[in-house]
Chains A and B, each alone.
Chain A
Amino acid sequence: MINTAKKGRLTVLGAVAIGAMVALAGCASSDPLSDGGDASSSSDAIVVGSQQYYSNEIIAELYAQALEDGGYTVDRQYQIGQREVYLPELESGSIDVFPEYTGNLLQYYDKESTAKSPEEVESALADALPDGLTALAAAPASDQDSYNVTKEFSEENGITSLADLKDYSGSLAVGAPPENAERPYGPPGLKSVYGVDVTSTPIDDGGGPLTVKALLDGSVQLADVYTASPLIAENDLVTLDDPENLILPQNVVPIVSDKVDADAKAIIDAVDAVLTPSDLQKLNAKSQTDQESSGTIAKEYLTSKKLIG
């Protein structure tokens, strides 16, 4: 039996343990209940958000660090999953800066849009955005869907363009994110524009390692991989040409709320002006292959471009 003295000490121990746990939970640097709600930041901090996509987070971090270097206080809210969540927050000013992609955002606001080229899409987007949201100038860098095949497949069958696919005699399965099946550039679009029958194998890793592995293993013949992904170069994949512009261009474009002043906008513009497609690929490679964090990658890049420090 535990005697009273020992019990007393155990009680204290128990209380301290529980107290410590509660205190620690309270010390969490991000308030668990503020996700998806209003930002718990001071009124003059700029809130930078990002999608649940590592590459998008890197771009957001580029903006964040550049703004901090310009004297602004920045509050980061990364890994937000859905447009339905962060777009209203941008409109209401709970989030101030968000890196987006021209094509998908245009589709979100205007499904019927017929804009095809990067310039068309960018200007259509400016029109389609609701009040309270502004799109700054798009960067040269883009991160759009692309259909890829292995080098062997391309050489054996002489396929370098989506237009060549209809001559292929075997069955074609494409490993793509789940939403691809319902997008205009998915199997329905491939059929109507290029005359190709493709079945979908949905893989939910954002055109990442599982998708590429499936392509390399032969489980699928085509893979929908984002153009900025380092996996394309690493695995010698061949990106098929898209002569009919079926796939929507996705240039990186920062969306800002009304709270962002002209100086801040200029800082963000400066970052986007230098962000080329190959730069974005290299940044992504640092994250995927070298496993560096977005903070480190952003700092290196901004310093090398003399945008901070």
Chain B
Amino acid sequence: MNVFLDSLAWLADPVHLAGPNGVPARLGEHVLYSLAAVAIAAVVAIPVGFLIGHTGRGRTVAVALTGGVRALPTVGLVFLLALVLGIGITAPMIAFVVLAIPSILAGAYSGFEAVDRATIDAARAVGMTEWQIVTRVELPLGLPLLIGGLRSALLQVVATTTIAATVGAGGLGIYIFTGLRSNDYTQMFAGSLVVIALAVVLEVLFSVLQRLVVPAGVAAGRPLDTRVTTSRSAAAKATSLQEGTQ
């Protein structure tokens, strides 16, 4: 309990709140980098994911990519890029985008895939064009899973941004590293608390968003969760959706 209290006191100290190295400033940097990275990754991954989901092609490559990136050590990637490109946010940002793309891609295509083919056939039968099907049927129905992918990606980037402080890029990690090198565990713990709080807040926000975004008709008359009933289809789902944060 002592550590908690000490760290909270550290965080409340006005000295630590003021200026460019203050907690609010670093928190702001951290959030900014993370959102920017996810935005960039989304611009690339969402259209591609929709394409894969709509046409059903290229899925194996996408699944392999998602799985492969899970094995990629983020620390190594950030350090490598920093050695080549120098200090600052450029090197880590590239790493962030690389790590964020697979989650968003998975969210995008699985969102589309989850839409029952019968619904799409019905839409075609009613006379909708391909584009209308995408925007009026697949997109709204697939939105929850897409948001889930965005949420995974954001958490992954928030986690990696913590490490970016090593290479002169700012962010909340700076407290952890300064504390580490100065034998100041209170500072380290305080820094980690803020990062954890940020992650939890984002997780909750996005979970709520995910639920809100489900179209009213679907939520109301929600049939049996036909997607996850047999062991095998559940297995296929599990591999594409479960992401990690590093």
Contacts and interface: CB of A to CB of B under 8 A. Distances in A.
Interface of A: 81-84, 108, 175, 177-179, 181-183, 199-205, 209-211, 213-214, 217, 219
Contacts of A181: 21, 178
Contacts of A204: 165-167, 177, 181
Contact of B168 (A81, A108, A179, A203): A203
Given A175-B87, A182-B178, A83 B183 contact: yes
Contacts of B83: 209-210
B180 A82 contact: yes
Interface in B152-198: 165-168, 174, 177-178, 180-183, 185
B86 A214 contact: yes
Interface of B: 20-21, 82-83, 86-88, 165-168, 174, 177-178, 180-183, 185
B144 to A, nearest CB: 39
B26 to A, nearest CB: 11
Given A200-B21, A213-B87, A214-B87, A178 B183 contact: no
Contacts of B168: 175, 201-203, 210, 214, 219
Contacts of A199: 20
Contacts of A217: 86
B166 A201 contact: no
A179 B185 CA distance: 13
Given A182-B178, A202-B168, A210-B168, A82 B86 contact: no
Nearest 6 pairs between A and B by C-beta?
A179-B181, A178-B178, A204-B166, A179-B182, A203-B168, A214-B87
Contacts of B86: 210, 213-214, 217, 219
A261 B177 CA distance: 38
Contacts of A108: 183
Contacts of A183: 182
A128 to B, nearest CB: 16
Nearest to B182: A179
A191 B37 CA distance: 37
A103 to B, nearest CB: 15
A210 B180 contact: no
Contact of A202 (B82, B165, B183, B185): B165
Contacts of B185: 84
A178 B167 contact: no
A213 B166 CA distance: 14
Given A82-B180, A203-B168, A205-B166, 20 more contacts: A84-B183, A108-B183, A175-B87, A178-B180, A178-B181, A183-B182, A199-B20, A203-B87, A203-B166, A203-B167, A204-B165, A204-B181, A210-B82, A210-B87, A210-B168, A211-B87, A213-B86, A214-B86, A214-B87, A217-B86
A201 B174 CA distance: 10
A49 B159 CA distance: 32
20 contacts: A81-B180, A84-B183, A84-B185, A175-B168, A178-B174, A178-B177, A178-B178, A178-B181, A179-B178, A182-B178, A201-B168, A202-B177, A203-B167, A204-B167, A204-B177, A204-B181, A205-B167, A209-B83, A210-B86, A219-B86
